[in-house]
Amino acid sequence: MSPLYAHFNETLNGLTNIRAFRTVPRFKQENELLLEASQKTQFASIAIGQWLALRLQLIGVALLAGVSVMAVLQHQYNIADPGLIGLAITYALSVTGLLSGVVNSFTETEREMIAVERIKQYLDNVPTENTMGTNPPYAWPSQGVVEFREVVLKYR
């Protein structure tokens, strides 16, 4: 969603220039393309989340079915205490929520680490200023004069 927000911010900041040069249709088209890409990624993320939730619920159902079968067999042969069987069923019911919490924690940690990796990559690739190894003179600037040489200004 970051490219969409960046484009929206740039459009708002340069709205007078966009209207002055009559490039509104181009910016509308770029906005629609970025919005479509953003919606595609959000849809994929939601679909994957639902797929994962379904799989985790199936694991919980399988575990509950196993505990229930064991409870029926133990009741038939009078092996275990009914209180322990109830406790096992209660824990089996809560497994789905616990699994979802663990997976969400790992996912969020991975997301945060990707953000840290991106920041590190940006910091490593930032070009440094060319100071040419000279220090400014003492008490610089001594006058209120600024001189530009070979300056190029660009709109971002």
- Measured over the CA atoms of residue 134, residue 135, residue 140 and residue 141, the dihedral's sign is positive
Contact status, residue 20 vs residue 56, Cβ threshold 8 Å: no
The pLDDT value recorded for residue 39 is: 93
The overall average pLDDT reported for the chain is 84
Q: Name which of 49, 53, 6 is nearest 27 in CA terms.
A: 6
Q: Specify the pLDDT at position 131.
A: 62
Q: How far apart are CA 147 and CA 136, in angstroms?
A: 15
| pLDDT tens digits along 30-78 | 999 999 999 998 899 889 988 988 998 899 899 999 988 888 888 788 7
| pLDDT number for residue 153 | 83
pLDDT of residue 120: 83
Q: What is the arithmetic mean of pLDDT over 128-147?
A: 70
pLDDT digits (tens, 9 = 90+) for 124-137: 877 766 666 677 67
Q: Which of 12-16, 21-25, 98-102, 145-149 has the lowest mean pLDDT?
A: 145-149
Distance CA 118, CA 55 (A): 31
What pTM value is reported for the model?
Answer: 0.59
User: Averaged over 76-96, what is the pLDDT?
Assistant: 83
- Residue 130 is predicted with a pLDDT of 64
Tally the C-alpha atoms within 13 A of residue 18's C-alpha that lie toward its C-beta. Answer: 15
Q: Are 4 and 34 in contact (CB under 8 A)?
A: yes
Confidence of residue 156 (pLDDT cuts 50, 70, 90): low
What lies within 8 Å, CB to CB, of 8 at 6+ separation is: 31
What is the C-alpha to C-alpha distance for residues 109 and 116, in angstroms, rounded to an integer?
11
